[in-house]
Structure 1
Amino acid sequence: MGDQPAFERGNKCKDELYGSWWNDYEALYRRAEAERRRAEELRRQAEEREAEEKVRSQPTTLGELIKGVLQLKYIYSFCRESEDAKLCRGVDYLQKMIGDLQVVCAESTVQLVEDL
């Protein structure tokens, strides 16, 4: 009676089958988890590149706004010296434009701070 009882042999086969299935499942899970981590890393890197791109474009936008404000300031100072009614209306318009640009500059500054 050196043989194992039938129920022990059956359990051993069942354990081997289950163990094989479990090993396959575990390997598949590990691969899926590794792929998920890799996808997460790629997403994070893409977000960083996008944020860097926004930060790089902000100074250009702010520089353009500053240049526009300086041009308006120059035109405003020129027009202010004149007594012509059209130029006075132009000065009023430029004052409004300067105010609008100040708002845009403030919003761009806030956005830049948020992007950083």
Structure 2
Amino acid sequence: MRLTRREREALGEFVEACKEKFGGNLVSIVLFGSRVKGYARKDSDYDLLIIARKLPDIMERFDLLEKEESKIWDKYGIKISSLLFEEEEIFSSVNPLLFGVLSGYKVLFGRENFERGLKQAKVWIEEMD
């Protein structure tokens, strides 16, 4: 998957905003979905899985990055749809989202953390057999 300069700038700016917001609690940011798999339409959004520690309750997360997403839309015309999870929520249970992500993804931040989490998830799944 190749990103255009505009896409790289927009996603890079969003990654930096997430680093500021979550600080050392930011684990990984992963682009997934139609943009990575190569079947995106012109109006498709950019699906981002954001993994962080010490997140608020699930219902409070929906609007947590609304300001940052709006800023990217206003500046670049790029629609970001972010999903926030803690490490345990995405890696230590059989989360169906993880399987969808694995069908095509690009790590934008925290590659080592994401790969370590995948290894943990694999061990957990094997223990289920």
* Structure 2 length-normalised TM: 0.23
Pick the structure with more helix per residue: 1
From the two aligned structures, give the one with the greater strand fraction: 2
Relative CO higher for 1 or 2, CA cutoff 8 Å, sep ≥ 6? Answer: 2
Q: Which structure is larger by alpha-carbon Rg, 1 or 2?
A: 1
TM-score under structure 1 normalisation? 0.25
